A and B are shown apart, each in its own frame.
Chain A
Amino acid sequence: MVIGSQKKTYFLMAPLSKHTVIKCQDLAIGYKSKKKASIIANAIHFSITQGTLVALVGSNGIGKSTLLKTLTAMLPTLSGSLQIDAKEITDYSALALSNKLSVVLTEAPASKNLTVQELVSLGRQPHTNWMGSLTQKDKNCIQQALEDTDLASLKNKNCFELSDGQLQRVYIARALAQDTPLIILDEPTTHLDLYHRASIVKLLKKLTLEKNKTILFSTHEIDLAIQISDKMLVMTPNNIAFESPCNLISQGAFDDLFPNEIVVFDKKTGRFSIT
């Protein structure tokens, strides 16, 4: 395992001043309808500091997407407190929040006729005037986002011409162009092969290290997440653990992730294997 050495280099490189970007206290999430609220998970406590890469894992239907939707204000919180940059999420206007957090969703954009450059440029919308005209600063930001995601050579291609891995990078570039301290991604590695999964998470890691971005992503690639993320949010039916991967392994947090009869977690290799 390389966890130990990676952690060490990370702590050496970490900037000294770190403030809390997301803070949840006794948060309950779920869906609210007129008649009743159905709680999916409650008593959620965690706080994420700037420049950390956090992976959110859990089995299907446990509420990963619900949590991410709540964190991105697409769903209201049911109870408890959720703060972004030390301010309650409900106190933000849509525009103010779009300056704090950008998202990469699982849903494909409605139109695939956009070129890569056009799609990435849309990320500048919170910063542009009513015509959406781009200033030199906007253009620089877009160029930088394209370079950071290795898309500069593809910028004039239409999105429907791209592979899934390239598309995922385009969505990340759009979030980068939005220029927010926090980026939240919902399953950015789905539908990708091992190489592209690894290249996406490495890109996310690079962004936390070089751009001091705070990144939260949900994933089913638990072994990849263990190797690369700084902290992990592990959702199990009983509780939600928030720790560094090493601590989570020694606490046995992954043992409860799935019912035990088919897959078991091997603490030595940091992987799940079929029984």
Chain B
Amino acid sequence: MMVQKKHTGFFVLLCLLLVGVVFINISLGSVDIPLQEIFNSIIGTSSKSSWHYIITNYRLPKAITAIIAGGGLAISGLLMQTLFRNPLAGPFVLGISSGASLGVAILILGAGVISGIISTFLLSPWSLVMASALGSFLVLLAVLGVTLKVKDTMAILIIGLMFGSLTGALVAVLSYFSDAEQLQQFVFWSLGSLGNLTWQGVAIISLCFFIGILLSIYSAKSLNALLLGENYAKSMGLKIKKNMLVIIVATSILAGGITAFVGPIAFVGLAVPHLTRQFIKTSNHFVLIPAVAISGAILMLVCDTIAQLPGTVYTLPINAITSLIGAPVVIWLLVRKRKLIF
């Protein structure tokens, strides 16, 4: 299966849309900045320093974070859906986001036990990513382990939900024993936000994104084979265990790394792959991975623009907006097609 020429038009359209949405996202916010000034700020010739500061230190990193978070979560959703042969799979549904939460909770809340210099080292952005990715990796491995025993797609979802509750319970126990300051820190993290990242954070999250996307593209051929099911894939010479591991690592780096910085974000991973499949008629992952990534970025930018409530000083939690848009999309797809296919 090759990247066919017929998809070129679709990709051009997607990219144009992405560029358009990026500019809308950057130009709208609580402070009204003229479009001309935004261009000037980006090239570095802005006349007003406060506008320049807002653009380069707040809106631009936020837009990049939105692109990476949307694209990365959407890809991890696509990988999950193919790996678990389940159209309802996604980082949130399968408890991967909860796993990331558990990792972060252990790090932030557990840091109280080890005081002083070690705890400040523990709370660096890198350790946040590691803990979050490790948490999601372990939950994903556990879900997959059970999946190999129980060959029922319905059971996989239930198991994912159970793991979600389990990690949720562990987080609750941890927060019961931790002091107010750490608890507050964790609660703020778990609300989710795209705007809290420094340029250093953006660099780390971008690195996660690129490693994740490289591993996904490397796995695209085996993902295509997995569309036929494990046994067929094996009969076509696929080293199934190795390839599944690569896919799981890619998902944990994407979902875990992104969740570490922006908090658990719902529905993007689940809804975007289905939305993309409505417009692009192929199951080839070499086409789907970039298409899903760009669509996810567009959707996240749109959600973030809405969350900013342009013209006001209020900002809504990003998680609420993605759910408000994502949940109706999934319901609409189910009602229209009567079933989700992937």
Which one, A96, A115, A123, contacts B236 given CB within 8 A?
A123
B236 nearest in chain A by CB position: A125
B314–chain A nearest beta-carbon distance, Å = 41
When distances are taken between beta carbons in the complex, the residues of chain B under 8 Å from A105 are 229, 231-232
* Assembly CA distance A160 to B220 (angstroms): 23
Total interface residues in chain B, CB < 8 Å: 30
Which one, A101, A113, A115, A134, contacts B341 given CB within 8 A?
A113
When distances are taken between beta carbons in the complex, the residues of chain A under 8 Å from B323 are none
When distances are taken between beta carbons in the complex, the residues of chain B under 8 Å from A102 are 235-236
Pick from B82, B234, B235 the residue with the most CB of A within 10 Å: B235
* Assembly CA distance A122 to B237 (angstroms): 12
- At the interface, yes or no: A32 with Cβ under 8 Å from chain B? no
B224 with A132: CB separation less than 8 A: yes
Binary A-proximity of B205-217 (CB < 8 A = 1, otherwise 0): 0000000000000
Which one, A72, A93, A110, contacts B228 given CB within 8 A?
A110
B286–chain A nearest beta-carbon distance, Å = 7
Give residues of chain B (220-276) contacting chain A, Cβ–Cβ below 8 Å. 220-221, 224-229, 231-232, 234-240
Contact A118 to B237, CB < 8 A, known contacts A111-B283, A132-B221, A132-B286: no
When distances are taken between beta carbons in the complex, the residues of chain A under 8 Å from B1 are 118, 121-122, 132, 134
A122 with B341: CB separation less than 8 A: no
Which one, A110, A114, A122, contacts B85 given CB within 8 A?
A110
A112 with B235: CB separation less than 8 A: no
When distances are taken between beta carbons in the complex, the residues of chain B under 8 Å from A112 are 341
* Assembly CA distance A111 to B89 (angstroms): 14
Total interface residues in chain A, CB < 8 Å: 38
Which one, B227, B228, B234, B286, contacts A74 given CB within 8 A?
B234
- At the interface, yes or no: A178 with Cβ under 8 Å from chain B? yes
B238–chain A nearest beta-carbon distance, Å = 7
A113 with B239: CB separation less than 8 A: no
Which one, B220, B221, B227, B236, contacts A114 given CB within 8 A?
B227
- At the interface, yes or no: A167 with Cβ under 8 Å from chain B? no
* Assembly CA distance A178 to B236 (angstroms): 8
When distances are taken between beta carbons in the complex, the residues of chain B under 8 Å from A96 are 237
- At the interface, yes or no: B342 with Cβ under 8 Å from chain A? yes
B237 with A98: CB separation less than 8 A: yes
- At the interface, yes or no: B218 with Cβ under 8 Å from chain A? yes
- At the interface, yes or no: B147 with Cβ under 8 Å from chain A? no
> 13 A-B contacts, Cβ less than 8 Å apart?
A97-B237, A99-B237, A109-B228, A110-B226, A111-B227, A111-B342, A114-B227, A118-B282, A125-B238, A126-B237, A131-B221, A132-B224, A132-B286
